[in-house]
Amino acid sequence: MFTSASATFPFTNRFRWMLRFFFTLLSTLLFLAPPASVFALDSAQILPVGIRSPSVRFGTVGGIGQKFTSGGQLQTLSDYHSIVFDASTLQQVRPEAQRLVSVLNQFGHQNLGDALNLGVLRIETRPEVRYMAPIFAYGLTERWTIAVGLPIIHYRNTFSMSNYGSNVAAIQAQVGHNVDAELNEAFEQLSASLVTSAEHTLADKGYKPLRSRNQTIHGDLQLAAIYKALETPKWALAVKSLVNLPTGPADDPDDLADLNIFGETALEEILILNYRLTSRWELASRLAYRWLVPDRVQLRVPEDANDTLPGAHRKERLSRDRGDVASLGSSFRYRLLPRFGVGAGYELSSRERDRYGGSRGGHYALLSRHTGGEAVRFRAGADYSTTDAYFAGSALLPMILSFEFSDTIAGRNVERQTIHELWLTLFF
């Protein structure tokens, strides 16, 4: 009646994409800029010619166990992607179960087949991401500042699967153990743990085991150039160009739990406008467009929409064009004390869907699902600066210490991120 549990375990689309969302962060965690205000991203200031500025950014990323769905609702991934294997689900994913349900419904008047439930398969994950990004900036001319940085990321994740709520044993006890040999065999296969069946299915298809992670990796190398286009007593305009080089680890098609956010070549242009409202108040706005250079990558291509875990034979070298990202934002900064300032702002971003192509005529559009979306981020922070005091002779060292908090407060098809970042910058 049933084939082996490891070969027929009913994974769903939600299960596969849940794994990807668990272990996927936004592709740009770090940006390079000389930190001259509480929001370096929104600052049009550059370094004076000949000035060197080493800095280091420390940050933690949380909230990535939550996701904004296609309808904009924020849900915990563990809850949203828990799978209930009741009789209806079994008959959808395993047509041979229809016979078992029909046979069980013939026992008594309790419709035991309709009551059959293998329980809930729940995936638990506790991801923790910390990063450090050493950056070096240099004032090349009176209008140009250049910078280079390489993020170092520590990734830790405690991963587990659990199965609870099965009533197979109770129903088998009501039916009896000596009714029919074929029926007993079906009960024996159904009694196998969903977790064990899931692990066997991954192994049979050539995937690496899902295990907890504790690793440190370096990300993609980032280069930046900032050009001061305009500066008046009230206005400042700068154009920032970012280049992302693929020095980080590439995506592994056999590993559902890897961090697949590196190995990209990208160009980003950012237009930054500052307006000094008063001696204490400063407003800023930014407009950015990030273009990810098309490349080639090895992936597993589904045979159809129901092929949620393609086998190893479906691996193919594909052309990939990841969706471009457009964003705009606004912020304000208030100089509370001569050395201390605070600020807040928001940012809107939109990402296009990815596109894939290959030579075997596969259903490549299936790889683009859940790749486009939008996000709204709130930001707040504070900075402590001794630069003015240093030139006035009242501070020993010119430096800026900044802290920023940001949170994804709304979105669609995007994981939530809460980022706490500390940034120390020196000048000489």
Q: For helices 181-190 and 168-175, what crossing angle results, to 10°?
A: 160
What pLDDT does residue 305 have?
80
CA dist 401 and 389 (Å) reads 14
Residue indicated by tokens 């273009």: 291
Paired tokens of 12: 């769903």
Contacts (Cβ under 8 Å, ≥6 apart) of 73: none
Residue 402 sits in a domain of what CATH number? 2.40.160.40
Q: Which helix (H) or strand (E) holds 359?
A: none
What pLDDT does residue 369 have?
83
What pLDDT does residue 224 have?
93
Paired tokens of 395: 């501070």
* Parent domain of 188: 5-426
Regarding pTM above 0.75, the answer is: yes
Could you say which DSSP state residue 44 is in? -
Q: Are 367 and 307 in contact (CB under 8 A)?
A: no
> pLDDT under 70 in the chain at which residues?
1-41, 77-100, 107-110, 113, 177-180, 182, 186-193
DSSP string, 244-308: EE--SPPP-TT-TTS-TT-S--EEEEEEEEEEE-SSSEEEEEEEEEEEEPPEEEEEEPPSSTT--
Paired tokens of 206: 């050539």
SS3 state of residue 213: strand
CA dist 86 and 192 (Å) reads 15
CA dist 412 and 403 (Å) reads 28
Residue indicated by tokens 């940012």: 347
Residue indicated by tokens 């929409």: 305
pLDDT digits (tens, 9 = 90+) for 246-280: 998 888 889 877 777 788 899 999 999 999 999 99
State the alpha helices, DSSP H only, in 142-273. 168-175, 181-190, 194-204
Cα→Cα distances 110→38, 99, 106, 174, 190, Å: 67, 17, 9, 10, 20
Number of domains composing the chain: 1
The residue type found at 124 is: E
What pLDDT does residue 349 have?
94
pLDDT digits (tens, 9 = 90+) for 304-336: 887 777 889 999 999 999 999 999 999 999 999
Q: Are 367 and 301 in contact (CB under 8 A)?
A: yes
CA dist 384 and 316 (Å) reads 52
Classify residue 176 as exposed, middle or buried by CB count within 10 Å of its CB (0-12, 13-18, 19+).
Answer: exposed
CA dist 369 and 20 (Å) reads 12
